[in-house]
Amino acid sequence: MIMEWILSLKEKNELLFWFGLFNMALTLIFLILSRVYPIQLVGTNAWFKPIKFSSSITILSWTMAYFTGYLNPGRDIEIYNWVMIITLGFEIIYIGIQAGRGMLSHFNLSSPVYAALYSLMAIAASLATLGTAYIGLKFFTEPFPDLADYYLWAIRLGIILFVIFSFEGFVMGSRLSHTIGGPDGGSGLPFLNWSRKFGDPRVAHFIGMHALQILPLLSFYFLKNVRLTFAVGLLYLAIAVWVLLQAFQGKPFLKFIS
């Protein structure tokens, strides 16, 4: 069933299908490198960051390939595809290169070149987010007679939360740190490396952005009701905001293992 769904993406949006597949291959490569060529950076395996980014880009690419399959094909969808490929492609390649060199990609202002590349990553992420926001707008303006109202609203809400919490990444960018109340590095959750001692805005960033997948899946398979979809969407937003406020207070996401 999963393979059938993945293969159906090629018919819906071939460019994003191949881009997602490319990032899945990168994830496997980074996983292998994390074992055979382990490099320590800020207290963790340097390859974990590109693994997380490439896997996230895979999920995002295939999610948006599926959603854009509901839209009327046009030049704007082609432009969106290339915006995603160019911006996120630049990000993952740069992150991977820096990991292999044992150097930071994010928050690296150690030279004018690295500062410029870090700024370009911020611009790239913003363009990809704005492009996705545009796709979200089309779900409010185009007719969808074949989609259930509850599922359509789940897609809309998922994209809205994705955009909000994607831009929440600037909380970390403005601080040049993903830890509040202490230094980056140190004791963190396995692989994710979310701080077990201090506040970490990456948790809310992760939860909020993955509303893009979670809300439509819940609505389509379980909720099957507009009011329930809105209720769960509001609850999901409340959880993401609460986790973010917790981070601002310098508190770890999971206190009981800190």
Position 221 confidence tier, pLDDT thresholds 50, 70, 90? very high
Residue 58 inside a domain? The answer is no
What is the pLDDT at residue 6?
A: 79
Q: Express each pLDDT in 85-114 by its tens digit.
A: 999 999 999 999 999 999 999 999 999 999
Position 2 confidence tier, pLDDT thresholds 50, 70, 90? confident
Residue 197 inside a domain? The answer is yes
Residue 215 inside a domain? The answer is yes
Residue 182 inside a domain? The answer is yes
Residue 123 inside a domain? The answer is no
CA–CA separation, 156 and 142 (whole Å): 12
Q: Determine what percent of the chain is predicted with pLDDT higher than 90.
A: 88
- Predicted model pTM: 0.95
- 41: which strand partners? 44
The total number of structural domains that make up the chain: 1
Checking if the pLDDT of 227 tops 80, the result is yes
Checking if the pLDDT of 258 tops 50, the result is no
Residue 204 inside a domain? The answer is yes
Residue 229 inside a domain? The answer is yes
Residue 129 inside a domain? The answer is no
CA–CA separation, 156 and 222 (whole Å): 17
CA 144 to chain centre: 26
